[in-house]
Amino acid sequence: MRISIITVCYNSAATIRDAVDSVLAQQGMELEYIVIDGASKDKTIEIVSGYDSKISQIISEPDEGIYDAMNKGVARATGEIVGILNSDDFYADANVLSLVAAAFEAPSVDCVYGDLDYVDAVDTGRVVRAWRSQPYAEGAFRRGWHPAHPSFFVRRSVYERFGMFDTSLPIAADYEFMLRVLERYQLKSVYLPKVMVKMRTGGASNSSLKNIAKANLQCWKAWRQNGLGWSPLPVVRKPFSKLKQLRRRETP
């Protein structure tokens, strides 16, 4: 089973090597690796080009934001399964994708996801928040729950059937996509209780109070445009659900 992994990046020279190394270290499955660079002005593309023989496709050109870049990668993917790893994230070990591939052996499964650790941006061995998910149950999004997107894998046919990332939501399109396929269309999913991804702190949606407010507003819009109601309660509950992650913080 071929898995296509997409990494989008822009001026990511400080972290891109960790991301690439973690993807190329994966074992036990057929890998297609696609890197979409937004015409970086630092040494990002120089670093990525050093892996030229191991990366299936490297595209470097201006884009209209992170989700536009993700859509470019999805459009180029040929694997049956597609996952997206951000340029400042990395897989927790070399067996993540083989476990994902095994879960997709069941033909009825459309989505697979797992757990994630937020780590210190400099000391990546230090866990700051532990995101532990759970099996999806109908209505879970209404209680403020959702999977960690970097740990979220889907069949490529899901994008073909239900569409890609909505670029009109520049901070919350990943949330909207998961809401769409799990809560609206009720696609079959499998939860793997394993830390799949290490994510450095400081992501765009959490980098400031202003961005947090923007992200929450866009999450509310995601509910409306999917015909799932107008109540703000699911979005209000979303930040409170993250308090559990702080209580579950682990010391490596």
Residue range 178-193, pLDDT digits in tens: 999 999 999 999 999 9
d(CA 34, CA 113): 20
24 contacts 56 by C-beta, under 8 angstroms: no
Nearest in space to 36 (alpha carbons), one of 99, 108, 81, 87: 87
Pairing state of beta strands 189-200 and 2-9? unpaired
Rounded Cα–Cα distance for residues 25 and 21 (Å): 6
Paired tokens of 239: 């930040």
98-153 tens-digit pLDDT: 999 999 999 999 999 999 999 999 999 999 999 999 999 999 998 889 999 999 99
Is the pLDDT at 203 greater than 80? The verdict is: no
In the predicted structure, residue 87 carries a pLDDT above the cut 90:
yes
Q: Domain extents for the chain?
A: 2-247
What's the distance, Cα to Cα, between the start and end of the chain in Å? 33
Single out the residue of 192, 143, 184 nearest to residue 163, CA to CA: 184
Supply the pLDDT for residue 191: 98
Query: How confident is the prediction for the chain on average, in pLDDT?
Result: 91
Pairwise CA distance, residues 183 & 177, whole Å: 10
Q: Give the fold, CATH level 3, of 2-247.
A: Spore Coat Polysaccharide Biosynthesis Protein SpsA; Chain A (3.90.550)
3-state secondary structure the chain: CEEEEEEEECCCCCCHHHHHHHHHCCCCCEEEEEEEECCCCCCHHHHHHCCCCCCCEEEECCCCCHHHHHHHHHHHCCCCEEEECCCCEEECCCCHHHHHHHHCCCCCCCEEEEEEEEECCCCCCCEEEEECCCCCCCCHHHHCCCCCHHHCEEEHHHHHHHCCCCCCCCCCHHHHHHHHHHHHCCCCEEEEEEEEEEEECCCHHHCCHHHHHHHHHHHHHHHHHCCCCCCCHHHHHHHHHCHHHHHCCCCC
The pTM of the whole model exceeds 0.85: yes
- pLDDT exceeds cutoff 80 at 207: no
Which pLDDT value is given to residue 184? 96
- pLDDT tens across 17-49, in order? 999 999 999 999 999 999 999 999 999 999 999
